[in-house]
Structure 1
């Protein structure tokens, strides 16, 4: 009889421990954390400061949100076929979520899987790139954050620095959809600021030195768009701009940190953190990507490179250079 009572008591205690464990897990999840560990595959088109920041912000954002993850980071080294192979690897590995950085990486992931949730960042126009159906009603298994720049306010900066600027030049990658979208927008808005645009396209990094030298002979100032090929050579471009005493306005702060003059732009690090919040919604809250609209940068900051400002001999007292984020020193 004692043996039966002991066995019964053991079963009761075991049962209470199971329910206590469930309650503890529920409590942890209700506080926004999760005891589960998720696997996230990160597909990055190429390594340069802006895209690296988008990755770092995403990883740090997940840590801040208490989401336990194992990261499988893959760099496509600028080769689009590699983004397809990376996406196929993630599909085979059955990762819980794919985070794609730059348009080709997102396009390839969407092409490869319709089941695994996909988030993107550093994509200018995801509708034009056929990654989502609509900015609000994204459809399917893909959503994310856009790095669309506030081009209108950025173009206004040229005249605020020097009212004599008439012609601006743009160097861009002819095979990058994001760049084509930006060039179209700049050409549309520039006449409103009494600016003419000369755009020169390149297809690979080896063409950049000659192209920028040729462009600088024809323009008063330069606008650098959010373009992965241009970003990979931005230090070279910035150096040539300074040598020729050419004012530059950039689409993003990473360009300014590398030597261009100024931007009224986004932080890719913060954009990555913004995307991490979406990942938490999908993984922890079990929200469908199709129910999450595409996000745009929540924080736009004026950033100026002080070294470049001094080398160009510009007036630091100009209103545009006041109350800005300063880099370069």
Structure 2
């Protein structure tokens, strides 16, 4: 397999020009990571098979018609998090948590979907939600400082902009002794406390299996439903756990995947 790897460097206009290049080069398949790249590729070509990964709701983002009947030349895997079980973690760690904060990218369709879902489910767990949106990485330090004054804990969604500054965010959370639950394991590896979420590495392998179906088995993307993460793993950062001074004997911290030290 010959792979032409192109990085849009976080700039959405670059995703369009890259997709146009791939179309001009007549590649056999375009693999996109995250919603903006998938949207751009779909905009550019209706003929070349397109696979996406790390797209939370491809229907809401208008990338596919339906989860099971995608409708065209695009399919892939979703990184939709098990938000209901993740929200339950807050009270399992500290029953006194009442208000959770979320920092998110206002221009990321994936994030808007997650915020909507969190706000819908949070009251069932006796949680209030304060969401603060940012539009670029420079706004994050001030936004997180302001948010931490108003909340008992923080939920970090699978958001590309937030992920790019997750080490800074995690550091501020630890300094303020704030508990954090994340949508996915990469955040925990970078310093947040815990997740019951997916592995993007494993999700990539699922998407690669789809590429094999298209390129080798000659299956049409329109015949392949959107996939969701097959493996959900609870992961804690033991270094963060120690710095927060939490009780390691809590049931939620037992028999989990550990990162950090």
Q: TM-score range by the shorter chain?
A: over 0.9
More helix by share: 1
Secondary structure at 1:119 match in 2: strand
* CA distances 1:298-320 after superposition (whole Å, capped 9, x unpaired): 00000000000000000000000
* CA distances 1:87-126 after superposition (whole Å, capped 9, x unpaired): 0000000000000000000000000000100000000000
1:273 to 182, 197, 205: 205
TM-aligned CA deviation for residue 138 of structure 1: 0.1
Instruction: Indicate yes or no: 2:69 matched with 1:171.
Output: no
When the two structures are superposed, what TM-score results if normalisation uses the length of structure 2? 1.00
* CA distances 1:50-85 after superposition (whole Å, capped 9, x unpaired): xxxxxxxxxxxxxxxxxxx10100000000000000
Partner residue in 2 for 1:71: 3
TM-aligned CA deviation for residue 269 of structure 1: 0.2
Secondary structure at 1:75 match in 2: coil
TM-aligned CA deviation for residue 325 of structure 1: 0.2
Instruction: Indicate yes or no: 2:90 matched with 1:158.
Output: yes
Partner Cα separation in structure 2 for residue 282 and residue 131 of structure 1: 18
TM-aligned CA deviation for residue 284 of structure 1: 0.4
TM-aligned CA deviation for residue 145 of structure 1: 0.0
TM-aligned CA deviation for residue 280 of structure 1: 0.3
Partner Cα separation in structure 2 for residue 71 and residue 307 of structure 1: 37
Partner Cα separation in structure 2 for residue 285 and residue 84 of structure 1: 29
TM-aligned CA deviation for residue 134 of structure 1: 0.2
Partner Cα separation in structure 2 for residue 101 and residue 286 of structure 1: 22
Partner residue in 2 for 1:187: 119
* Aligned length, in residue pairs: 261
TM-aligned CA deviation for residue 259 of structure 1: 0.1
Partner Cα separation in structure 1 for residue 200 and residue 234 of structure 2: 14
Partner Cα separation in structure 2 for residue 140 and residue 159 of structure 1: 43
The structure with more radius of gyration: 1
Structure 1, unmatched stretches of 5+, are 1-68
* CA distances 1:231-280 after superposition (whole Å, capped 9, x unpaired): 00000000000000000000000000000000000000000000000000
> Which stretches of structure 1, 4 residues or more, deviate above 3 A after TM superposition?
none
Secondary structure at 1:71 match in 2: coil
When the two structures are superposed, what TM-score results if normalisation uses the length of structure 1? 0.79
TM-aligned CA deviation for residue 289 of structure 1: 0.1
TM-aligned CA deviation for residue 295 of structure 1: 0.1
1:306 to 233, 238, 241: 238
1:103 to 35, 38, 41: 35
User: Over the residues paired in the alignment, what is the CA RMSD in angstroms?
Assistant: 0.3
Partner Cα separation in structure 2 for residue 184 and residue 327 of structure 1: 30
